[in-house]
Amino acid sequence: MSDLERELAALKAEIEVHWRKYYIEDASTITDYEYDMLMQRLKAIEAEHPELITPDSPTQRVGGAAVSGFEEVTHKVPLQSLNDVFSEEEVRDFDARMRELFGDRVEYTVEPKVDGLSMSLEYENGVLFRGATRGNGVVGEDVTTNIRTIRTLPLRTTDATDELIVRGEVYMPRKVFEELNAERERDEQPLLANPRNAAAGAMRQLDPKIAAARRLDMTIFNLQLVNGKTFTTHSETIDFIASQGFRTIPYKLCRTIDEVIDRIHEIGENREQFPYDIDGAVVKLNNLTDRETAGSTAKAPRWAVAFKYPPEEKPSRLKAITIQVGRTGVLTPKGEIEPVRLAGTTVTNVTLHNEDFIAEKDMRIGDTLIVRKAGDIIPEVVGVDYSKRPNDAKKYEFPRVCPVCGAAAVREEGTAAVRCTGAECPAQLVRSLAHFTSRDAMDVEGMGMKACEQFVTAGVLRSCADLYTLTAEQVLGLDGWAEKSTQNLLASIENSKHAGLDRLLYAFGIRHIGQKAAQLLAKKYKTFDALLAANEEDIAEIYDVGKVMAESFVTWRNGAGHLIEQLRAVGVDFTYADDGGSDKLEGKTFVLTGTLSKYTRKEAEALIQHAGGSCSGSVSKKTDYVVAGEDAGSKLRKAQELGITVLSEDELEKLLSE
């Protein structure tokens, strides 16, 4: 070795020691500054001598260019799912089956079930070689570039075993999730729905730097394969994995079924103590030979079950009811509650839907609400604990004037919606602008809710058309806008003129006309002039548009002449750029369920719509196909009950290519 190679090896080894102390043992031995200086020296050497860069170098954790796509990986050892159980009785039935096979020698490990993204990691000669998603259990996707960004994962194991494969769960720590959402709220970006979705989204980023920004973590719960070593129990394998530098799942050994049940309850009652969200507890036979005897079905082992906890319901006091005014003028009530932890996040607000919802539950300020998360995502009110109602609690009177502009608020006949009638309501304008400039609409970068409020308050923008006459002087005159950010904003506004008719129709925020309907209208008529000339009956005949949408569009069209002319005058393009799609799936309705391995949900929907099909969020007799990914649940069961054709991702691709 040359002197430089020796220095490089020593530097890597030193950084590895400090990495392990900090990330695995929580016992840092040097300051952050000293660690950064070691990394800077390593980066400098590798920048000058790129031929010396190796896959296990600490610099490779957030390195490399974005990939163009993810390659398929066939797992050497299948990543099976688990059979779910929902009651103590089902756990005892599982125990009875195991004792019938193995008698009193039965021993279990009980572990928390992390609500994350299942992955396999492959090491060759001790060096991380590949990270792959579970996919369908047999075939997953190579996401090694993103796996390397997880700072707690060893790029090199303690023992240089020639082949090692482990399985674990990638997750976003709750603390990180809350910090990221606080940042996104300040920047007025859409909030992340939950830690699991955030982790899954990060793993599917083609640019590893974006994945690194999500600050993911991983815990290992299974040894899939190892050469040169033998073990008799699962607990021994977990201890071995921990000795190799991995974070591992905490387990407890239990000899009796009562001990198992007690541990399940203990995990559920103390779920807040874990850094990750959990949705259950996993009970596994500990003896590996007994596992082989018990065997597996095609999808799940017979020697393990996952006990799933019911959705958490907790009480919280209703402190206030506030009203938000949407872009169409609807007054929506929001309940401000005392902070409560639910499904891994702190909830401070709940939706109260509308005037009728509050009245039906006789909800009053000061009441104790029973709150849960619908699908562990959206906070909702289950009921009211009337026994804890304060003596001075008064019925809530829904406002009949807009809280923003003071105009009359009128309830529409036959609906629960109360709308502001103010033609120039600032709240409606702000939200209309935010919708008009949003990513799925005209995609004007830099025009978040905060900027929209700022421009409306300053009187710079009085309509969506004013965007296109905005000057640098007007923007620079407002707080927080520098020359560079102003130039970027104006360039993005200029680019948005060519977003296309489908995006423009969606951007207008016409009632009942969402993205899908906007695409159908644009694809059918190609130009806005042709759409303006169409009569209501012709529009209604378009598949998946119908009478209500047609009426809504015509009503809007009759009053939007001035806005349309303003946009034409500033050069906004009113034509549809044909994307080359087909109509082979026209008239066919799809429902997507479960976690897809090859596409995001949005990508799969785009492929279906590109071929003329439509996507729905619920299964009904009108559904033609259900595309089922990993962990498909109630929608898959309903499809099977109704006799609806169920497709895998491969079958969907085949259908699209025919």
Q: Beta strands 625-628 and 589-593: pairing type?
A: parallel
Class of residue 75 by CB neighbours under 10 A (exposed 0-12, middle 13-18, buried 19+): buried
pLDDT of 289 strictly over 90: yes
H or E element at residue 446 = none
Contacts of 112 (CB under 8 A, 6+ apart): 249, 250, 267, 271, 274, 278, 280, 281, 282
Return the residue matching tokens 């996040």: 345
Return the residue matching tokens 């026994």: 387
Q: Is 133 helix (H, G, I), strand (E, B) or coil?
A: strand
Residue 594: both structure tokens together: 């479960």
Question: Of 589, 635, 594, nearest to 616 (Cα)?
Answer: 589
- Sketch out the chain's domains with CATH numbers: 3-53 (1.10.287.610), 83-308 (3.30.470.30), 313-411 (2.40.50.140), 426-496 (1.10.150.20), 501-569 (1.10.150.20), 589-657 (3.40.50.10190)
Taking only the tens place, the pLDDT of each residue in 480-519 is 899 999 999 999 999 999 999 999 999 998 988 988 889 8
Give the pLDDT of residue 282.
Answer: 97
Indicate if 12 belongs to the active site.
no
Selecting among 12, 113, 284, 598, the annotated active-site residue is: 113
Give the pLDDT of residue 375.
Answer: 53
Helix, strand and coil percent figures for the chain, each rounded to 5? 40, 25, 35
- Please tell me which residue, 298 or 348, carries the higher pLDDT value: 348
Helix axes 195-203, 174-186, angle to 10 degrees: 80
Q: How far apart are CA 251 and CA 408, in angstroms?
A: 61
Q: What angle do CA 358, 363, 368 make, to 5 degrees?
A: 135
Query: Would the pTM of this model clear 0.75, i.e. be above it?
Result: no
Q: How far apart are CA 637 and CA 390, in angstroms?
A: 44
pLDDT of 368 strictly over 90: yes
Give the pLDDT of residue 188.
Answer: 58
Amino acid at 106: V
pLDDT of 186 strictly over 70: no
212 to 195, 199, 256: CA distances (angstroms)? 15, 11, 43
pLDDT of 184 strictly over 80: no
Taking only the tens place, the pLDDT of each residue in 386-445 is 999 999 998 999 999 999 888 899 998 888 889 888 877 888 899 899 999 998 899 999
Q: How far apart are CA 453 and CA 535, in angstroms?
A: 37
Contacts of 177 (CB under 8 A, 6+ apart): 192, 194, 195, 198, 344, 345
Give the pLDDT of residue 650.
Answer: 83
